[in-house]
Amino acid sequence: MLGAAAVLAMYVTLLLCGLAIFFAMSSINACGLIFARFVFHSAAQIDSQLAAMFTQLRTTIQQQGNPAQASVLAWLNIPEDRLGLLLTMSAFVLMLYLGLSALGGAFAALLRSRAETK
């Protein structure tokens, strides 16, 4: 049977693993974007993909026909707000990794604390 300190250490370790995975994947993604933009000179392709994503978002909002969403459409035209949206999505992915790491830690602690049947 594991003590409370050992279970807590396992949770902390798995949360740190989740953070490490998130930062490693973010770094790899950032390096890939830097290489694509500056080494392979495919900035137009990256920009067109982002523009297509925001155009699709804009048309989806317009099709809903709610007049209260005009402020959201104006918000999507500001580049800084687009960046904020992308950073918010990145923070959501971080929370998803941490949540899955915590669930994995809880499952590992459960499996480890089970009594062996003989």
Query: Quick one: how far is CA 69 from the chain centroid?
Result: 26
Mean per-residue pLDDT, 5-34:
80
Note whether 93 and 22 are within 8 A (CB): yes
The three-point CA angle 79-80-81 to 5° equals 90
Q: What is the pLDDT of residue 2?
A: 59
Does the pLDDT of residue 26 top 80, yes or no? yes
Which single residue is written with the structure tokens 């499996």? 111
The three-point CA angle 94-100-105 to 5° equals 125
Note whether 106 and 11 are within 8 A (CB): yes
Note whether 54 and 76 are within 8 A (CB): yes
Mean of the per-residue pLDDT values for the chain? 79
Note whether 115 and 28 are within 8 A (CB): no
Does the pLDDT of residue 73 top 80, yes or no? no
Q: What is the pLDDT of residues 47-58, one digit of tens each?
A: 788 888 888 888
Burial tier of 101 (Cβ tally within 10 Å: 0-12, 13-18, 19+): buried
Note whether 109 and 2 are within 8 A (CB): yes
> Could you tell me what percent of the chain has a pLDDT over 90?
0
